[in-house]
Structure 1
Amino acid sequence: MPAPKLWRIALAVPEAFAAAFAEAVGDHADAVSTFELEEHVTWLVEATVYGEPDRPRLTARVAVLAQALGIDDPVLVIEEVPPIDWVSHTYQAFPPIRAGRFFVHGSHHEGVVPAGTIGLQVDAATAFGTGEHGSTKGCLLALDRLSRRVRLGRGPGQGALDMGCGSGILAIAVAKTWRVPVVAVDIDPEAVRVTRENARINGVSHLLEAEGGDGYHTPVVRRRGPYRLITANILARPLARMAPLLARNLVPGGVAVLAGLLARQEQHVLQAHRAQGLRLIARIPMGEWTTLIVGR
């Protein structure tokens, strides 16, 4: 008997009602999840189920809930998920990426790292940062640009910090470019584990110190700081909130690379850092995302 086929159920709803609709469709599915599409506005409720769902019953349930909440019926998508060769799909989804002098590739890449580039081997895993996202690519372009004008060293106030390191791709890029010690911090223990493993794979374990903790309050950050270079690919609101702590950990003449913000959030983040005496050096737009370089 053939295995049942996989089906997808999806609908976009107001943020306030995402949980209610997730519960409504979740009763008809094997797995359900919600994702923010537009900050504070719209969320995607997405579910998967083996075997074709009861379309009339599901449509009716969504319509009744929408009426009870006083909103228009959301567009309900019910579609069969085509079978996928996941190994081939993963390889195709993460081809090598060029970002300035950086050449980001997965372990499946069979070619050579092009001459004159800095190879970064990072596989898609359980921590954010493989180079394909606009914010990560923008950070790599910023680091490439800064490598020609910023000098880092091994003494006090000469090193680098990667705040919210994710996969460690930015910390590794700094270590391989400047050959200096880098502190990498993330609140997620899994990100710390992935960063350490990626540092080993890329041959910079001796330069990279990855620790888990509460941002700038992490003991290793205080112990190794202040810094001449700070990278922070996080989100707009945390970036703005952490601006005073970033400024306190950045030496005079130091620079910071800020990312994880949409173009429309740029002024909010920039204003928070200007209030700390930092100025805009450059902006790097990547589609809907923007990377900012600020400094004293």
Structure 2
Amino acid sequence: MSEQKRIGGYRVELEVPAELALDFAEAIEPYVSAVAMVELGEGVTWKVEGFGESQPDRAAVISAVALTALSNGVAEPETRIEVLPWTDWLKENRRRFPPIQIGRYFIHGSHHQKQPPSGSIPLLIDAAIAFGSGEHATTRGCLMAAGAMAKRRHRPFRVLDMGCGSGILGVAAAKSWPCRVLLSDIDPQARDVARENTRLNRVPAVRAISGPGYRNPLVTRKGPYDLIFANILARPLCRMAKDLKRHLAPGGIAVLSGLTARQEKWVLSAHRAQRLYLKRRIPQDGWHTLVVG
């Protein structure tokens, strides 16, 4: 994505009970390009925001929100849809995301010119529309899991990042082990961002594709995988448990994230049904990352 490209767009915004934040995020997800959730005040209420370059179907969004509220027995939240001003999106995001150290990984944008800390693994990730800059607890949990596996001398050869967003987890894997990495996302824009990030990090053994998840023939052809990252949402994780098991090599490890503490039991239950069991839990700010195998 060119640094000179100026991106405008639309934002969908609503404030919801904390325990239902993911439900409402999933409700608006089909109508936007990216979803973010922000804790408000004491954490009783969360703000759910959706961003997209094209105008969402207002009636469809409001209907999806209303149905989610009805099915959970809560009052329908106000849904605000607004036009975002045209601005240099990358420049603004880079200003908001300073370098971050997560275990042995040092995440920074191209605007950061200083040398990374000694002994760290630098990940050059420019904040963009695709999810995954290291700021969110789910990404942090996945990177912590990867760092712990590297310390225990785990050596995956084939790695899959399902729902890759910016590609940060695949880039981290490629810099941690001599492995081949496949990045997959349903959103072509995320694929393009991931490709750019693999180029910036000079990791040639990483390929980014877009398509219908595990149904993409290339995902099957490149497997089975010794390590699968799936940092998505709780319900898709449950639905995809059988496919994940089918693509995981014998003795392989999966890192699951995008779920809250309350949702862990459902996600673990779906994977136990596939004979995948909890090896490690990484809690971060109310979110859980699960290592199963």
Counterparts of 1:73 and 1:183, CA distance in 2: 40
1:125 paired to 2:125? no
Aligned to 2:175: 176
Of 136, 140, 146, 1:137 maps to 140
Q: CA deviation at 1:152?
A: 3.2
Asked if structure 2 preserves the Cα contact closer than 8 Å seen for 1:13 and 1:45, the reply is no
One-letter amino acid matched to 2:196: E
Q: CA deviation at 1:74?
A: 7.8
CA separation of 1:104 and 1:42: change in aligned 2, threshold 3 A: closer
1:98 paired to 2:96? no
One-letter amino acid matched to 1:129: G
Counterparts of 2:214 and 2:76, CA distance in 1: 45
Q: Partner of 1:147: helix, strand, or coil?
A: helix
Asked if structure 2 preserves the Cα contact closer than 8 Å seen for 1:163 and 1:184, the reply is yes
Q: TM-score, structure 1 length as denominator?
A: 0.70
CA separation of 1:244 and 1:123: change in aligned 2, threshold 3 A: same
Q: List aligned pairs for 1:1-296, cutoff 5 A.
A: 12=15, 90-149=93-152, 151-152=154-155, 158-204=157-203, 206-295=204-293
CA separation of 1:189 and 1:44: change in aligned 2, threshold 3 A: closer
Q: CA deviation at 1:252?
A: 1.7
CA separation of 1:123 and 1:266: change in aligned 2, threshold 3 A: same
Q: CA deviation at 1:255?
A: 0.4
Q: CA deviation at 1:148?
A: 2.4
Counterparts of 1:282 and 1:75, CA distance in 2: 39
Q: Partner of 1:281: helix, strand, or coil?
A: strand
Counterparts of 1:35 and 1:90, CA distance in 2: 14
Asked if structure 2 preserves the Cα contact closer than 8 Å seen for 1:152 and 1:159, the reply is no
Counterparts of 1:257 and 1:37, CA distance in 2: 23
Q: Which runs of 5+ in 2 are unaligned?
A: 1-12, 25-34, 40-44, 51-73, 81-86
CA separation of 1:210 and 1:45: change in aligned 2, threshold 3 A: closer
Counterparts of 1:44 and 1:260, CA distance in 2: 14
Asked if structure 1 preserves the Cα contact closer than 8 Å seen for 2:103 and 2:147, the reply is yes
Q: Partner of 1:145: helix, strand, or coil?
A: helix
Asked if structure 1 preserves the Cα contact closer than 8 Å seen for 2:224 and 2:249, the reply is yes
One-letter amino acid matched to 1:116: G
Q: Partner of 1:237: helix, strand, or coil?
A: helix
Q: CA RMSD in A?
A: 3.5
Q: CA deviation at 1:85?
A: 11
Q: Partner of 1:160: helix, strand, or coil?
A: strand
Q: CA deviation at 1:75?
A: 9.4
Counterparts of 1:35 and 1:143, CA distance in 2: 23
Larger Rg: 1
Counterparts of 1:188 and 1:253, CA distance in 2: 30
Asked if structure 1 preserves the Cα contact closer than 8 Å seen for 2:37 and 2:48, the reply is yes
Counterparts of 1:73 and 1:278, CA distance in 2: 38
Q: CA deviation at 1:124?
A: 1.0
One-letter amino acid matched to 1:267: K
Counterparts of 1:75 and 1:164, CA distance in 2: 29
Asked if structure 1 preserves the Cα contact closer than 8 Å seen for 2:234 and 2:267, the reply is yes
Aligned to 2:84: none
Q: Partner of 2:151: helix, strand, or coil?
A: coil
